[in-house]
Chains A and B, each alone.
Chain A
Amino acid sequence: MRSIDVHAHLAPQCMLSTVDSGGEWHGLRLENGDGPGQLVGHGRHIPLFPPHLRYSPEQRIQDMDQQGTDVQVVSIHMPLVGYHLDPAEGLGLAREVNDEISSMTKRWPDRFAGLATLPVQDVDVAIGELERAVTELGLKGAALDTVVNASNWDEELFLPLFKAAEQLGALLFYHPQPNNNLISQQVNDKYAFGNSIGVPLEDALVVAALIFGGVLEKCPDLKVCVAHGGGPACFGMGRMDHAWQVRSEARINIQRPPSTYLNRMYYDTVTNSEPVLRFLIDTVGIDRVVLGSDWPFVGWDPSPAGWVQNLESLTQEEKDKILWQNLEALLGLPS
């Protein structure tokens, strides 16, 4: 029995050491308030919270031991991706982060695997960095926001990146920003709807964009994983199927109902609820669900792996697939 966690964030030490000494890291400065402080720059405010976000790799490993997580597939804390930066600056950010994640995986190969961050504001530059990350740094793929500035992932300009990822066998892990997404921008955010409603909505939007945009059709071997169980995509797919039946604009890129593409992607267990996880498994298949923790954000259970292990509606065979077998196979991790 092992546990491999696809959904674990990193605020890189290279960033922390720069801002802690008063410096600016790709446009971000640290503002120390009463609490843990926040990163400020380019009109953004990124809280450095919870305190675990500052943990060194050694502290992180201790916390993983307490959580019962054997391996974390580490990716950037998504508000730091910097897609608004000019491409050269964005590449500088990505290289620093990716080098740091790579060094973690090399020093602790039994405990960490890594996903790159990419300057997708320039697709060619992003492809170059993905190639470097996978072939030189040994990372397993990349973590991506669900929207690129105002662009959705179904847009033609991203196709070369998908083709490159498919060629490299790289996993693309989609994860939205909790404080900067469609809902936080469109709705009064006094009750933090950006996080509670906006995050899963973004997950569903990227699932829809990849399906309806024909990305999965054009890239049959592309590996995609969507955070938070893909949000309500599986639950709401009936309405998307119906729209595909009655609206020609929904059929432009796909000749099969959108629901038939759901089992082409992977989804993590960050679903907050056993019935929701069961619904996901029954919809997409047990081979498509993988463990996620959302580290360092403490979820509804202090041990994500323990939560899965204790679920009554899952068989032990299903638990083994979710906890490690699916990810071991998907990422080619040593057993």
Chain B
Amino acid sequence: MRSIDVHAHITPQCFWRATQNGGDWHTIRREQDARGREYSISGDSQGQLPPKSSWTPEQRLADMDSLGVDVQVVSTYAGFYNYHLEAPIAIATSRDANNEVGEMAKAWPERFASLATLPMQDVNSAISELERVMYQLDFKGAMINDNVNGHQLDEPEFLPFWKAAEAMGAMILFHQGGGTLVSSRIRRYHLPNSIGNLADRVVTFASLVMGGVMDACPDLKICLSHGGGYVCHGIGRMDRSWETRAAIRANISEPPSAYLRRFYYDTIVYTEPALRFLIDTVGADRVVFGTDWPYDMAQDWPVSWIFGLESITGEEKELILWKNLERLLGL
């Protein structure tokens, strides 16, 4: 059985090289704290870089072999979205990172496929960069944040982006970067991540559905990371909201649940009952394997975890581990 991982990040070597002797990578710096932990400093935000994030592709491949991951669909670390910086900086970091990811996929075509990072604060530049990587570098799509500097992705300014992604057949993976909606409420106990990621994802789903993006772009390919967060659990209340509110029905003629199967969802839900619930809600052909490599929130031994699940059939495991992504991304 193969395994293709839709959710695997890279902190590109070009960043590590540029910041090696206190230098910067398009204004982005690197610092160490007293305990030797590495941080990237991008404008007024900082992100912790786990030890594996500096690994070379060869080291990454050795770890993939150990985990049993055949193919990583590689996406640049969300801390480098850089939407909050001047657009030219984000354009430059996107091009650099994308070129490196593209080189990896070219050097190891059996082991890596590529997702771009895009300067979403400048929609035209984001479209141009997506075109460049899709047509010249054989990328499979892009990973973007759940919002762009607080703007939801259903706002009219983003419609050209959605139309372009649809026309190119690019898959868009949603993944939070920096803080989440929960960050403004409570920062303790890692809740901005453990609850916030899942909350951001359901807002993205609901915005794209109720904002009419999914209707406007019927062939758009969207993957929601972290199992789509609270989407499948909370869909009943969203349907109820649609039933009772004319303002929502004015935008979409079917209830939100009718759109569940328009999206893909990764397997990062941690428990067998939650994964079973996700499959039962959206269908086994809509669930794809993901690991969140190389972060601490990644599931341990994700391939053998799927193998060992008793409530998932062998056929479902094949779909989830590789068949769905092979078809979706044309691998």
Cα–Cα distance between A197 and B194 once the two chains are bound (Å): 16
Cα–Cα distance between A276 and B278 once the two chains are bound (Å): 11
A240 and chain B: residue at smallest CB distance: B194
Interface residues of A, CB < 8 Å — how many?
51
Contacts of B234 in A (CB 8 A): 196-197, 200, 231-232
Would B190 and A282 count as touching, CB distance under 8 A?
no
Cα–Cα distance between A239 and B230 once the two chains are bound (Å): 12
Bitwise interface map of B from 207 to 251 toward A, beta carbon under 8 Å scored 1, else 0: 100110000000000000010011001111111110001011001
Q: What is the minimal beta-carbon distance from A175 to any residue of chain B, in angstroms?
A: 14
Q: What is the minimal beta-carbon distance from A286 to any residue of chain B, in angstroms?
A: 15
Interface of B (DSSP majority class): helix
Question: Which one of B245, B251, B271, B297 has the greatest number of beta carbons of chain A within 10 Å?
Answer: B271
B186 and chain A: residue at smallest CB distance: A152
Contacts of B191 in A (CB 8 A): 205, 208, 212, 240, 243
A:242-270 near B, CB below 8 Å: 242-243, 246-247, 249-250, 252
Q: Is A331 an interface residue (CB 8 A)?
A: no
Would B239 and A236 count as touching, CB distance under 8 A?
no
Bitwise interface map of A from 227 to 239 toward B, beta carbon under 8 Å scored 1, else 0: 0100110011111
B256 and chain A: residue at smallest CB distance: A196
Would A196 and B238 count as touching, CB distance under 8 A?
yes
Would B270 and A212 count as touching, CB distance under 8 A?
no
B270 and chain A: residue at smallest CB distance: A238
Would A239 and B197 count as touching, CB distance under 8 A?
yes
Interface residues of B, CB < 8 Å — how many?
49
Residue in B185, B189, B198, B236 whose beta carbon sits within 8 Å of that of A147 in the complex: B185
Q: Is A328 an interface residue (CB 8 A)?
A: no
Would B280 and A246 count as touching, CB distance under 8 A?
no
Would A208 and B206 count as touching, CB distance under 8 A?
no
Q: Is B125 an interface residue (CB 8 A)?
A: no
Residue in B240, B274, B296 whose beta carbon sits within 8 Å of that of A238 in the complex: B274
Q: What is the minimal beta-carbon distance from A288 to any residue of chain B, in angstroms?
A: 16
Would B186 and A209 count as touching, CB distance under 8 A?
yes
Cα–Cα distance between A271 and B230 once the two chains are bound (Å): 13
Cα–Cα distance between A187 and B184 once the two chains are bound (Å): 12
B:246-275 near A, CB below 8 Å: 247-248, 251, 269-271, 273-274
Q: Which residues of B contact A (CB under 8 A)?
A: 152, 181-182, 184-186, 188-191, 193-195, 197-199, 202-203, 206-207, 210-211, 226, 229-230, 233-241, 245, 247-248, 251, 269-271, 273-274, 277, 280-281, 296-297, 299
